[in-house]
Amino acid sequence: MTERQWQIAQDSLLPLLKAGVAFTIPLALISFALGLLVAVLTAIFRLYGPKPLQWLMQFYVWIIRGTPLLVQLFIIFFGLPRAGIILDPYPAAVIGFTLSVGAYGSETVRAAILSVHKGQWEASYALGMTRWQALRRTVLPQAARVATPTLASAFISLVKDTSLAFTVTVPEMFQRSQQIVSTTYEPLVLYVEVALIYLLFSSVLSFGQSRLEKHFDRYHTR
């Protein structure tokens, strides 16, 4: 690497980190929190809701899982204005990522709920709980431990997927690197630098995932 390339890498590090902290991480956190709520509700409705609602949730999951996330973002940001629905870039990205997390996460949550032994339901009923009380107080806490590793991995993937938000003009870290490349003409330096920053974020989150799994294991009797 030449002296000029080193200087470009050093000068661009702070702007890239600022974009990551100001846009990339918050976008992932907000989308994942909302998506997790959607995932839990979707899984519950698919398992225990009335038939029409089960079919609606199944249709939602089918549509989201069967189409590319990039296409979904384009439909939300570029397509909906043709129907009179105009969204700013950031909300459009949040909606797109939330729907994606909700659909994929619902399958994880649904499988985790089904993995809880039916004896837990029977014990809850014996204590006088209704089905919804048993679900909330007994089944979901146990399902959360089962679902945690997969959901945590989904969050790490989401952090990397936020790079797609540049396509709808969200000024996140990858778009910032594109802007710097347009003035420095050093795409290899900038893209490798962005990759290393994403790697750093993912490594920190992976460490947090392992800590969270250990926390849940403390309350699990083998």
Residues 70-98: what's their mean pLDDT?
A: 95
Q: What percent of the chain has pLDDT over 70?
A: 96
Rounded Cα gap, residues 104 and 42, in angstroms: 10
Q: Is 32's pLDDT higher than 60?
A: yes
Element (H, E) at 131: helix 131-134
Please provide the DSSP assignment of 136-200 as one string.
Answer: IIIIHHHHHHHHHHHHHHHHHHHHHHGGGGGGGT---HHHHHHHHHHHH--HHHHHHHHHHHHHH
- Identify which of 40, 65, 31, 58 has the alpha carbon closest to the alpha carbon of residue 170: 31
66-71 contacts at long range (C-beta below 8 A, 24 or more positions apart): 69/96, 69/97, 69/100, 69/161, 69/164, 70/164, 70/167
pLDDT value at residue 131:
85
Which of 56-60, 112-116, 120-124, 162-166 has the highest mean predicted lDDT (pLDDT)? 56-60
Q: Is 219's pLDDT higher than 60?
A: no
Domains of the chain: 3-217 (1.10.3720.10)
pLDDT value at residue 132:
87
Rounded Cα gap, residues 174 and 196, in angstroms: 12
Residues 72-82: what's their mean pLDDT?
A: 95
Which range (77-81, 141-145, 215-219) has the least confidence? 215-219
How do residues 176-205 score in pLDDT, each as one tens digit?
Answer: 999 999 999 999 999 999 999 999 999 998
Q: Is 19's pLDDT higher than 60?
A: yes
pLDDT value at residue 220:
56
pLDDT band of residue 211 (cuts 50, 70, 90) is confident
pLDDT value at residue 222:
47
pLDDT band of residue 37 (cuts 50, 70, 90) is very high
Residues 109-125: what's their mean pLDDT?
A: 90
Rounded Cα gap, residues 195 and 182, in angstroms: 18
